[in-house]
Amino acid sequence: MTAGTLFGLCAAVLIGFGLYGLIVNPHPLRKILAFNVVGSGVFLLFGAIAYRGAGAGMGGDPVPQALLITGIVVAFSATALAVALLLRLFDETGSVTLSSDPPPKSGDDTGAH
């Protein structure tokens, strides 16, 4: 099995793991983490495809590789924004639940006002 196929299949499994965590983990931070696992799986799949496009003296196709660099940086900025939203929610309400039930009252007085 070539490295491209091996890590391509590895990426497919990573996307599956991440998707499961994204659905099953109730904590928003864990969802962000699982989403990053999905993201890295997608990047790895794309990287495996770039590796298959080796040619002209280059180890991999440079166009998808350059797009991957852009992708990783944009994924970081999306993660930073998600974490900032989450921390603000925590500062306001004292909890970070995504459930539609009313949040517990214990942390309400810590809200920033």
Partner 1 sequence: MIEVLNFGLAALILGLAVWTIVAREAPAAVVGFIVYGLLLTLVWVQLQGIDVALTEAAIGGGLTGVLLISAAVRLRSTESTARAQRPSASTRWLAAALSAAVTAALSICVLALPEPAPTLAPEVLANIAVTEVGNPITAVLLAFRAMDTLLEAIVLLFALIGVWSLAPDRAWGGRPGLLQQADPNGILAYVARVLPPIGIVAGIYIFWIGADHPGGKFQGATILAAMWLLVMMAGLADAPPISRRWLRWLLVAGPLAFIAVGVVGAVTAGAFLSYPQGYAKTLILVIEFALMPTLTLILGLMLLGAPQRGETS
Shortest reach from residue 110's CB to partner 1, in Å: 10
54 binds partner 1 (CB under 8 A): yes
63 binds partner 1 (CB under 8 A): yes
For every residue of the chain, DSSP letters joined together read --HHHHHHHHHHHHHHHHHHHHHH--SHHHHHHHHHHHHHHHHHHHHHHHHHT-BTTBSS-HHHHHHHHHHHHHHHHHHHHHHHHHHHHHHHHS----SSSPPPGGGGGGS--
Give the one residue of 35, 69, 105, 108 binding partner 1; rule: CB under 8 A: 69
Give the one residue of 35, 65, 102, 109 binding partner 1; rule: CB under 8 A: 65
Give, as ranges, the residues between 91 and 110 that touch partner 1 (CB under 8 A).
Answer: 91, 95-97, 99, 104, 107
